[in-house]
A and B are shown apart, each in its own frame.
Chain A
Amino acid sequence: MLRGAPVRRILALQPGLLLAGIGLWAFGVSRIERQAIGPYGVLASANAWFFLGLAALLAGMVAELSRARPRTWLLAAFLVALIVAIHTTVPLLYGGTPEYAWVYKHVGVAQAFGQYHRVTDTSNIYQEWPALFTTVASIASLGDAGPLSFAAWGPVAFELADALLLLGIFRLLTGDRRLPYLAVLLYEGLIAWVGQDYLSPQAFGYLLWLGIIAIVIRWLLAPAPAHCRLRFVNTARAFLLRGRPTPADASTAMRWIALALVAVIYFAIVAAHQLTPYMVLLGVAALVVLGVVWRGWLVLALLAVIALGYLAPRYGLITSQFGGVFSGGDVFENASGSQGILHKAAELRTGEVVHVLAAFMWLGAAAAIVLRWRSLGRVALPAVLAFSPFVVLGVQSYGGEAIYRVFLFSAPWCALLIAELIAELRGTLRPLVSALVCAAALVAGLQGLYGPAAVYAFTPPELAASLWLYGHAPPGSLLVLPADNFPGLEAANYAAYDFQIMPSDPQNGASWLNEANLGDVQQWIDSLGHPSAYVVFSKSMENYAGYFGYPTGYEQLATAVAADPAWQVVYRNADVVIYRVTLG
């Protein structure tokens, strides 16, 4: 009994940390004042309980990973708890209101499909790539609940699903019980900031892409590359694949079935999102060039036919919105992110944090590859998947978003490469480095995720105001936002309204209007040709103007219209005022 006691204590320590971590985090979230969240975000406003909760979860998981025989159920529980903690904090703080203004556009398209049962606007790029929206509409219809009732929980749902696939893929690649959990833990920190997991076609496409990768790795890897007529290709492949573990065997019939499953999943991706199919194609193409995919050129041709067959009749829409498939070959310009973002103060600091994180990720992955130069085959697959997404920067900026997609599609493999490096450390160094690296990635990632929370997260009164607007403004009305940061376009009949953002923000490409001048603003509204307009002022617009520094005259405009009798208040709550202004 005396000899067993310490062992039992050790066995109970990690489950204790799990429960304590969840409890502390939940208590910490309940004590955070939403109104106190400033321009540096949730972390700067959080209390010690919140940090202790996250620290307990991280420490417990690293402690469990350091055991000789880690309990996978416990590792899974830690991972689920961490993902839930990371991705439900903001929705909990904001009363379950979906974050990001652009999520509401997605909700609107799903609502439109649910109400009108057809494509109502062929010039709307979302309606022409409808697969996610129709899925959401069908679930909402069967569940008798609008998409707004579950959209806020999109990030946590997608991240949990992604983690499931990644754990499985990493198990297939490494055959290890411990390493996949360390890699996914690191991954969750690395990608927290990139914000591509909200209810969106790209998040959906990303999940399906992981499914394709799982199928390729399980059933479509060739034991040895086929002989090529070009000698240097064979030499290069032999060098790059030296020391490669033997892939899982599969019958020919199973390989054909796997190929059919890939085609089905890929078609769903193609019908859901414009860019993701090409990210998938790049990854598969890189593996084909490496010579590791069974009937690689056939696989590639099949995917290309599906992608191009879907794109061809819709190419005009792509040309009008993104300037065609090739928007310019300037890699640096394509990698520079969203144009017109005005980096200042808190936004600048948060931006710097995530830039350092991204640099750390790619440099760490590159180091892991270089350190295995004698047997590159051990890391060939993750290395190729980690760096092939960069090719997209040679052809597309995707409205400034391409670099974020490159990061996202690269992150799982970088996390695996870095985790493998850490796993090779001996003694106490391994848990120490694991804890430090994961904690650093998590803190940096969370700052990137939570930093702009006061800007991008909306309060229930703001959503209520938006719903009031669509419920009361007659169809055909002009709806005006002085700043591009408000829940809008979420109604099924969103297209029936003339929804306008004041041209006063360089981040939207137009900034000639001075909002501080009420006369100019009224003249611009008058020029839109409606007898009256509904103009919205909100707390999150104010936060947006403070965070980015634009539109510069927002506060003056809000003050001026409050004193002008032509501007009639038609709705007011704690965070929003809506005016109707009649001009002309």
Chain B
Amino acid sequence: MTVRSLALQQPRTRTGLTAWAGIAASLAAVILLAVPGRGPRLAGAFLLACVPVGAAVMCWVDSGEGLVQAGLTLVLSLAVTAIVTAVMIWLTTWQPTALFAFAVIGVVSCAVRLLRGGRPCCAERQ
């Protein structure tokens, strides 16, 4: 299945857009972090902390409101980043590069979401 056919298959749902945004942000974060120069790396680091994990969750959950969808993507990402990094400090296993796993999680979850089609998980009760 090509990316184009995937894109056409996905209606412009909030969860679909979240999934595409999650994949784009995860890839952009990894690319920016690989680019030499402080500015791009810092942008990549912020992107990694602010989008992929939240998108990995919110691509499955439709809030019914685009702004809430975006806001919760940000909040969840930051919350998980905060918890994971705090745990690293408590366990004295400080490895910030482990946050690259967020990009992997983001890409995998969002891609699975796109491949499975438009039916959101936990559909609303009628």
B-binding residues in A (CB < 8 A) = 113, 117-119, 130-132, 134-135, 137-145, 149-150, 161, 164-165, 167-169, 171-172, 204, 207-208, 210-211, 214-215, 218, 248-254, 257, 261, 264-265, 267-269, 271-272
Contacts and interface: CB of A to CB of B under 8 A. Distances in A.
19 contacts: A118-B92, A135-B82, A137-B96, A138-B81, A140-B45, A149-B42, A161-B74, A164-B71, A168-B70, A169-B68, A204-B78, A208-B78, A210-B71, A248-B64, A251-B124, A251-B125, A253-B122, A265-B79, A271-B86
A113 B89 contact: yes
Interface centre among B49, B75, B125 (most CB of A within 10 A): B75
Nearest to A129: B86
Interface centre among B61, B72, B74, B125 (most CB of A within 10 A): B72
A218 B82 contact: no
Contacts of B89: 113, 117-119, 130, 134
Nearest to A117: B94
Contacts of B49: 135, 138-139
Given A135-B82, A139-B42, 13 more contacts: A130-B86, A139-B45, A139-B49, A142-B33, A143-B42, A145-B41, A168-B69, A204-B82, A211-B71, A218-B64, A218-B65, A264-B79, A268-B83
Contacts of B90: 119
B83 A250 contact: no
Contacts of A248: 64
A210 B122 contact: no
Nearest to A135: B82
B71 to A, nearest CB: 4
A251 B71 contact: no
Contact of B75 (A138, A141, A149, A211): A211
A250 B125 contact: yes
Interface string B23-35: 0000000000100
A143 B68 contact: no
B90 to A, nearest CB: 7
Contacts of A210: 71, 75
Q: Which 8 pairs across A and B sit closest by C-beta, in order of nearness?
A: A211-B75, A168-B67, A143-B42, A117-B94, A168-B68, A134-B85, A143-B45, A268-B79
B78 A207 contact: yes
Interface string B44-87: 11101100000001000101111111111011101111110110
Nearest to B63: A218
A245 B66 CA distance: 21
Contacts of A269: 79
A445 B40 CA distance: 35
Nearest to B88: A134
Interface of B: 33, 38, 41-46, 48-49, 57, 61, 63-72, 74-76, 78-83, 85-86, 88-90, 92, 94, 96-97, 99, 122-125
A168 B71 contact: yes
Contact of B78 (A144, A254, A268): A268
A96 B104 CA distance: 34
A159 to B, nearest CB: 13
A312 to B, nearest CB: 16
A249 B96 contact: no
A251 B122 contact: yes
A138 B83 CA distance: 12
Given A117-B92, A134-B85, A169-B68, A254 B41 contact: no
A143 B125 contact: no
Contacts of A131: 82-83, 85-86
A164 B122 contact: no
Given A138-B99, A218-B64, A252 B125 contact: yes
A142 B101 CA distance: 13
Contact of B44 (A142, A149, A161, A165): A142
B65 A254 contact: no
Contacts of B42: 139, 143-145, 149-150
Contacts of A150: 42
Contacts of A250: 124-125
A267 B90 CA distance: 15
A369 to B, nearest CB: 25
A165 B75 contact: yes
Nearest to A169: B68
B97 to A, nearest CB: 7
A134 B70 contact: no
A250 B48 CA distance: 30
B74 A164 contact: yes
B85 A137 contact: yes
A410 B83 CA distance: 27
A118 B90 CA distance: 7
Contacts of A211: 71-72, 74-76, 79
Interface centre among B79, B89, B96 (most CB of A within 10 A): B79
Nearest to A211: B75
Contacts of A143: 33, 38, 41-46
A80 to B, nearest CB: 13
Interface centre among B45, B74, B80 (most CB of A within 10 A): B45
Contacts of A265: 75-76, 79
A145 B38 contact: yes
Contacts of A271: 82-83, 86
A295 to B, nearest CB: 16
Given A252-B125, A265-B76, A132 B82 contact: yes
